[in-house]
Structure 1
Amino acid sequence: MTEAYVVGAGQSDFGTFPDESYRSLFATAFEAARDSVPKGMDTDDIDEAVVGTLGVGGRQLGLPGPAVTEHVGLEGVPCTRVENACAASGYAVRQGVQAIRSGMADVVLASGVEVMTDVSSEAVRYWLGVSGETEWERLSGTTFAGVYAQMASAHMAEYGTTKEHLSQVAVKNHANGAKNPHAQLRFECSLEDAMNAPTVADPLNLYHCCPTTDGAACVLLVSEDVVDEFTDTRIRVAGVGAASDAVGLFQRDTYTGVPASQRAASDAYDMAGVGPADLDFAEVHDCFAIAELMAYEDLGFCEPGEAGEFVASGATRPDGEIPVNTSGGLKSKGHPIGATGAGQVTEAFKQLSGEAGDRQLDGPRYGLTHNVGGSGGAAVVHVFEREEPRSSGGSSGRRPRDGEDGGESA
């Protein structure tokens, strides 16, 4: 089974763009992704396309994938639309990896797009709510923020997590996002700002919640057979894990974690042959500050109940033990629902390629992306590895996995 590699990734700016359409945003991201391929890529090289989108506002609910891929010149290329709420394009990337590993494609465009700001705030709340359980959550009036507020309250009650811990997530991510030219909220905030913002859903306030966002992101995946045609920097999709769970929060056994994230991470680590301690950075799904804190625990960065102290220690800052959300995360970079997962992979590609600009980390080898749908009804985790330069003998340079012989054969 062939390996899958990321050879290019790009995104549009994330924000509010009244003069843009979902097609034009997608075209911007697509061209950025193509331009990032070191040796170039033509549209004729692409065998398959996968597009993640929820369809906020109801635009082009049928065939939104072909609507954007035909717009960028991919005539006749098979295209699949993926909808898994906020995890839509994370799953699109996973599906692209599956297409390559199955041998059905050598080059796949995995992408996402969403326009959220051209409808009223009431309509946005409706579309956000459709990712929750319909009968007992959405129709009873529970908002998306309200669901995560319940999770925050439970985490505080069980583990002593504080509002200051939530606010420290916001301060860190705004500091990172201020260095990202594509971020929606490119400004820093003080701890005092984040502590004293207006309440949205107690205990969550404005600085604990991600914004409403337009944007698109595209990732170009290729097989091991053709990777050298496109790049000399081999960034392998080392591990993939995905899981589903009950859509309604009230249907689950815990409010203080996301079991789908835990299962997805375990599978991704097992496939990659690495663990949390091997990671050099991570992009995690911080739709609300509590979601990032729970991700620390679900992904194994710290033990359950220790996330508050973990962020307070500085461990997740760019100079910390495991930098998290160097892009600014959903909180500062923005959260165009269908584009978020592919946007996370774009940041991972830039970091591993050494092209992250002012937020570039020092020589990362392993990075992780973590994308969640709704309040945890779906989750997908990818682990990426920048392979060491190949020897003259032509080996891939990857680290042997568990059970493999890393030495020379007899």
Structure 2
Amino acid sequence: MRDAYLIGAGQSAYGAFPDESYRSLFRTAFEAAVESVPAGFDPDAIDEAFVGTLGVGGRQLGLSGPAVTEHVGLGGVPCTRVENACAASGFSIRQAVQAVKSGMADVVLAGGFEVMTDASSDATKYWLGVSGETEWERLSGTTFSGVYAQMASAHMERYGTTREQLSRVAVKNHENGARNPKAQLGFECTLEDAQSAPVVADPLTLYHCCPTSDGAACALIASEDVVESYTDDPIRVAGVGAGSDAVGLFQRESYTEIPASRRAAEAAYEMAGVGPDDLDFAEVHDCFAIAELLAYEDLGFCERGESGDLIESGRTERDGDLPVNTSGGLKSKGHPIGATGAGQVVEAFAQLSGEAGDRQVDDPVYGLTHNVGGSGGAAVVCVFEREVMV
């Protein structure tokens, strides 16, 4: 199969935008992606598109993919909507890579969008809940913060993880998000702020939970046959992997791991021919602080039960050995469900292109993105490689 390359990526700001529509947000992201291609880009080169969205609020549930691609001028380009809850656009990236690798397309648009802030809190809670197990979780009143609170409690009981360690995730990601002009919560917080904030679902406080967000993100994937037309500094999609699991947390054997993430990571590492020790940075799915700690373990950054020690060590800070969530993560940057996975790829593109500003890590070669659907019913992992020209 042919190699696939990331040639451009862009996003809208994340936040609450009452004067924007899902179409206008997607246009902003699309135009940013086009403008980011180093040697220039003609949208007429796009052969296919994959667009991720959950459809919060019930807006344009049918044909929402063509609704946005037609709006940005991709008339007639085949478009598929991808829905895998919070991992929707992460899976749209995977579909784009598969289309390029198979030879069915040379240039593919992958992206996602969501508008979440124009609904009432009860309506938003309902739509978030549909990504959990419908009959026994959502209809019994269990919220996603409640599900992840169960995971946090189990991890604390089994491994001795502390609320302070959860809070360190928030402090780190807010520090990074404060440097990201696209971030919804672009301000710093202290350990005291995070630990003393109102409890949302014990042991999770407000600062342990990501916000609801409006936003969109897009990436452009090209084949090895045409990549030289767009850049002299190619970023290869070295590996991509995906996994699924039972949708309901109660249906799984353990509350302290997400097997879909582990399976996705193993497949991506194998395809890329690298391991976690080779990574220079990672964007992981931190919808709640405990989710980032679980990701450390599921992705092989540390052994089981050692994620609390890892966050305390400083290794995952921006100037550490393995910076995690330099964008601010879902916690600070925001979490517009359908856009989140593609938004992680936007940060990977910026870092590997050396365009991340004062978030820039030192001379990265390998970066990873990790996108989870629901509480772990689906996960997708991508490994990107900046090809060093000799």
TM-score relative to the length of structure 1: 0.95
Kindly report which structure 2 residues correspond to 1:201-240, keeping only aligned pairs within 5 A, or say none: 201-240=201-240
Q: Give CA deviations for 1:208-235 in whole Å, capped at 9, x if unaligned.
A: 0000000000000000000000011110
Aligned-partner SS, 2:153: helix
| Alpha-carbon separation, structure 1, partners of 2:317 and 2:258 | 23
| Alpha-carbon separation, structure 2, partners of 1:104 and 1:38 | 24
Cα distance, 1:319 vs. partner? 1.0
Cα distance, 1:281 vs. partner? 0.2
Cα distance, 1:321 vs. partner? 1.6
Cα distance, 1:130 vs. partner? 0.3
Aligned-partner SS, 1:70: helix
Kindly report which structure 2 residues correspond to 1:310-321, keeping only aligned pairs within 5 A, or say none: 310-321=310-321
Residue 383 in 1 paired to residue 377 in 2? no
Equivalent residue number for residue 126 of structure 2: 126
Equivalent residue number for residue 281 of structure 2: 281
Aligned-partner SS, 1:217: strand
| Alpha-carbon separation, structure 1, partners of 2:156 and 2:344 | 28
Kindly report which structure 2 residues correspond to 1:60-209, keeping only aligned pairs within 5 A, or say none: 60-209=60-209
Equivalent residue number for residue 9 of structure 2: 9
Unpaired runs of 5+ residues, structure 2, are none
Q: Which amino acid aligns with 1:364?
A: P
Cα distance, 1:388 vs. partner? 1.2
| Alpha-carbon separation, structure 1, partners of 2:24 and 2:136 | 37
| Alpha-carbon separation, structure 1, partners of 2:212 and 2:121 | 9
Cα distance, 1:99 vs. partner? 0.3
Cα distance, 1:170 vs. partner? 0.1
Equivalent residue number for residue 404 of structure 1: none
| Alpha-carbon separation, structure 1, partners of 2:43 and 2:75 | 9
Q: Which amino acid aligns with 2:319?
A: D
| Alpha-carbon separation, structure 1, partners of 2:216 and 2:146 | 27
| Alpha-carbon separation, structure 2, partners of 1:318 and 1:13 | 21
Aligned-partner SS, 1:8: strand
Aligned-partner SS, 1:34: helix
Kindly report which structure 2 residues correspond to 1:5-44, keeping only aligned pairs within 5 A, or say none: 5-44=5-44
Aligned-partner SS, 2:179: coil
Aligned-partner SS, 2:70: helix
TM-score relative to the length of structure 2: 1.00
Residue 243 in 1 paired to residue 246 in 2? no
Q: Which amino acid aligns with 1:119?
A: A
Residue 362 in 1 paired to residue 362 in 2? yes
Residue 268 in 1 paired to residue 268 in 2? yes
Equivalent residue number for residue 394 of structure 1: none
Tell me the matched-pair count.
390
Cα distance, 1:353 vs. partner? 0.3
| Alpha-carbon separation, structure 1, partners of 2:250 and 2:23 | 37
Q: Give CA deviations for 1:277-318 in whole Å, capped at 9, x if unaligned.
A: 000000000000000000000000000000001001101001
Equivalent residue number for residue 302 of structure 1: 302
| Alpha-carbon separation, structure 2, partners of 1:42 and 1:321 | 38
Q: Which amino acid aligns with 1:171?
A: V
Q: Which amino acid aligns with 1:321?
A: D
Cα distance, 1:188 vs. partner? 0.2
Q: Give CA deviations for 1:99-145 in whole Å, capped at 9, x if unaligned.
A: 00010000000000000001101000001000000111111000010
Aligned-partner SS, 1:348: helix
Cα distance, 1:173 vs. partner? 0.1
User: What is the identity percentage for the equivalent residue pairs of Structure 1 and Structure 2?
Assistant: 78
Equivalent residue number for residue 398 of structure 1: none
Cα distance, 1:163 vs. partner? 0.3
Q: Give CA deviations for 1:163-208 in whole Å, capped at 9, x if unaligned.
A: 0000000000000000000000010001100110000000001000
Cα distance, 1:43 vs. partner? 1.5
Unpaired runs of 5+ residues, structure 1, are 392-410
| Alpha-carbon separation, structure 2, partners of 1:134 and 1:387 | 44
Q: Which amino acid aligns with 1:55?
A: G
Q: Which amino acid aligns with 2:40?
A: G
Equivalent residue number for residue 353 of structure 2: 353
- State the superposition RMSD in angstroms: 0.5
Q: Which amino acid aligns with 1:112?
A: G
| Alpha-carbon separation, structure 1, partners of 2:240 and 2:254 | 24
Equivalent residue number for residue 336 of structure 2: 336
Detail structure 1 runs of 4+ shifted over 3 Å in the superposition. none
Cα distance, 1:42 vs. partner? 1.0
Q: Give CA deviations for 1:248-291 in whole Å, capped at 9, x if unaligned.
A: 00000000010000010001000000000000000000000000
Aligned-partner SS, 1:367: strand
Cα distance, 1:159 vs. partner? 0.1
| Alpha-carbon separation, structure 2, partners of 1:52 and 1:93 | 9
| Alpha-carbon separation, structure 2, partners of 1:207 and 1:388 | 39
| Alpha-carbon separation, structure 2, partners of 1:284 and 1:108 | 24
Q: Which amino acid aligns with 2:82?
A: V
Q: Give CA deviations for 1:66-108 in whole Å, capped at 9, x if unaligned.
A: 0000000000000000000000000000000000001000000
